[in-house]
Amino acid sequence: MESLQLQAALLKAVREMGFDKPTDIQTLCIPEIRKGHDIVGQSSTGSGKTAAFGLPLLEKIQPRQGIQALILTPTRELCVQNNEALNKFAKYAQLHSTAIYGGVGIQPQIDALQRVEIVVGTPGRILDHLERGTLRLDRVNYLVLDEADKMLEMGFIEDVERIISAVPQHRQTLLFSATMPSEIKRLVKRYLRDPKTITSEIYVDNSLLNQVYYVIPMREKFSLLVHLVQSYPNGISLVFCATRSEVDVVTRNLKLHGVRAMAIHGGLTQNKRSIAVDSLRKEHINVLVATDVAARGLDIRNISHVYNYDVPKTSDEYVHRIGRTARAGQEGDAITLLSERDYENFNRVLQDRSLTIKRAQLPQFQIARFQRFSRPQGGRFPERPQGRFQSRGRSQGRFSRGHRR
């Protein structure tokens, strides 16, 4: 990390954290942020983005001079993760950050806001504090919008714009987004001043990552998942589902079959979500079942398998999902379970010609019991809406690039 020419206090902390070489996004971003430029950055999960914006901001912020930086994140997990990283970077710099998010008591946050220079928060709870008068942003010189496309997808953009209006216009603004939909481009044009655009190459290393898909009737999809997960008991797996209810139901059924699994999605309390992530990192469980939103930004190492129980809607989302495995020179597997209702989404994924996804022959597996659960204390887990898919049989899906064997 010496090549970044960090301040001595930051360099000492970074070395203690085991970082020895900057990532591409860090090498590209840090010099431009130091110069005071607004930044539009695109990079994949796990690329070191927090250090890319956090380290140069920590060099600029002054101790005990009030809140000088605000970092907005779409999810509680990313909020907590960014806050923890910033406090570790600032260990010897006499600077402090706090995490502000919903689902927990507000008074400890009010107390913490009196003692920090950096606030990392989710839009809803930040607005709550602004409306209460417990958060002042008049000294903020640095605004970071992290995972802006996810904030758009989750419906937070109006909240984000209200928060931006409360920040002084004379500021440095850094926006990071995995994708750049038109609404995010509008934000960039409206709120950033002559920004530098920095893209850290997002790609899949086909030499390390084995990508396959299975064509499977919907009624047998869960049985195949159980078979595959149990075939690799020593691996750490991340299973993606499209909805919260599907995450809950798949997780409960996996547990019935002896799989050490936990769920993570936006409907769970922060405590339960933190326990799930911590359990996976400590390998107390070996399967985490998640929605895209909940998993975005999570930095979980040593994932050996990524399962698309439901197919993502775009190739960008597919790449960001599977990019959580095959890291740091390790091999990994990305496995898509393809049923009739997934064909339309899978066609869109296949439009990315850089992806090499091979069709795999179905293994022999036993049919596993799968049941919908009644929600305790009244109500039921909602059934997944049934799309109007034409059944094409066990192996006759019509994909735009054909079956690849």
Is residue 288 very low, low, confident or very high in pLDDT (cuts 50, 70, 90)? very high
Contact present, 181 and 149 (Cβ < 8 Å) = yes
- The answer to whether position 152 is within a domain reads yes
Predicted local distance difference test score (pLDDT) of residue 297:
62
Give residue-wise pLDDT tens across range 237-246: 999 999 999 9
Domain end (from 151, 174, 199)? 199
Residues 146 and 220 in one domain: no
With 80 as the cut, is the pLDDT of residue 47 above it? no
Q: Please state the pTM of the whole predicted model.
A: 0.70
- 381: confidence class by pLDDT, cuts 50, 70, 90: very low
Q: Is residue 382 part of a domain?
A: no
135 by Cβ neighbours in 10 Å (0-12 / 13-18 / 19+) ranks as buried
Residues 218 and 309 in one domain: yes
pLDDT digits (tens, 9 = 90+) for 264-274: 987 888 788 88
Residues 241 and 105 in one domain: no
Between CA 288 and CA 77 the distance in angstroms is 14
Could you tell me which residues are beta bridge partners of residue 261?
Answer: 287
**Cβ proximity of 149 and 177 under 8 Å:** yes
Provide the total of helices (H) and of strands (E) in the chain, helices listed first.
Answer: 15, 14
Block residue for tokens 């000088």: 68
- For residue 401, give the amino acid letter: R
Residue 32 pLDDT > 60: yes
Q: How far is CA 229 from the centre of its chain?
A: 22
Is 141 in the same domain as 10? yes
In a domain, 394, yes or no: no
Distance CA 101, CA 273 (A): 13
Helices (H), 133-286: 148-153, 157-165, 182-191, 218-231, 244-256, 270-281
Burial class (CB in 10 A: 0-12, 13-18, 19+), 336: buried
Number of domains forming the structure of the chain:
2
pLDDT beyond 60 at 386: no
Q: Per residue in 290-340, pLDDT tens?
A: 998 777 667 677 889 999 999 999 888 898 888 778 766 678 899 999 999
Contact 302, 330 (CB under 8 A): yes
Q: What are phi and psi of 324, to 5 degrees?
A: -85, -5
d(CA 405, CA 393): 18
pLDDT of residue 391: 32
Residue 226 vs residue 200, higher pLDDT: 226
Give the confidence band of 42 by pLDDT, cuts at 50, 70, 90.
Answer: confident
Shared-domain flag, residues 41 and 181: yes
Whether residue 98 sits in one domain with residue 189:
yes
Which of 167, 199, 231 is at the close of a domain? 199
| CA atoms of 289 and 292, how far apart (whole Å) | 10
Q: Is residue 333 part of a domain?
A: yes
Alpha-carbon distances of 294 from 89, 107, 299, 357, 396, rounded to whole Å: 25, 25, 12, 25, 33
Q: With contact defined as beta carbons under 8 Å apart, do 172 and 143 qualify?
A: yes
pLDDT mean across residues, the chain? 87
* pLDDT over 90 percentage in the chain: 63
What's the maximum distance between 2 C-alpha atoms anywhere in the chain? Answer: 66
Phi, psi (deg, nearest 5) at residue 91: -50, -40
Q: State both tokens at 346.
A: 């899978």
Q: What angle do CA 139, 120, 34 make, to 5 degrees?
A: 60
The side-by-side arrangement of strands in the sheet containing 39-42 is 97-100, 118-121, 69-72, 142-145, 172-176, 39-42, 196-199
Task: Check whether 374 has a pLDDT greater than 80.
Answer: no
- Chain centroid offset of residue 180 CA: 16
Q: What pLDDT is stored for residue 327 in this prediction? A: 67
Predicted confidence at residue 207, as pLDDT, reads 76
Do residue 72 and residue 159 come from a single domain?
yes
The CATH number of the domain holding residue 334 is 3.40.50.300
233 in the same domain as 287 = yes
Asked if residue 218 and residue 105 are part of one domain, the reply reads no
Question: Which among 199, 233, 259 is the end of a domain?
Answer: 199
Please tell me the predicted confidence (pLDDT) of residue 301: 72
Q: Are residues 172 and 54 in the same domain?
A: yes
* Residue 380 DSSP class: B
For residue 141, is it within any domain? yes
Share of the chain above pLDDT 70, in %: 87
Residue 9 dihedral angles phi and psi, to the nearest 5°: -65, -40
> Is residue 129 included in any domain, yes or no?
yes
Residue type present at position 123 = P
Q: How confident is the model at residue 205 (pLDDT cuts 50, 70, 90)?
A: low
Q: 183 pLDDT band (50/70/90 cuts)?
A: very high
Regarding whether 66 and 101 lie in a shared domain, the answer is yes
- pLDDT for 45 equals 60
Packed helices 244-256 and 218-231: angle between N→C axes, nearest 10 degrees:
60
Handedness of CA 339, 343, 348, 354 (dihedral sign): positive
Structural domain contains residue 224: yes
Task: Quick: pLDDT tens for 89-132.
Answer: 999 999 999 999 998 999 999 999 999 999 999 999 999 999 99
Query: Residue 103 sits in which domain range?
Result: 2-199
Instruction: Note whether residue 51 is domain-resident.
Output: yes
Q: Report the half-sphere exposure of 236 (CA within 13 A, side-chain side).
A: 17
281 and 329 part of one domain: yes
Chain mean position to CA 387? 27
CA-to-CA dists, residue 342 to 54, 157, 296, 401, angstroms: 39, 29, 21, 15
Examine the pLDDT at 261 and tell me if it is beyond 70: yes
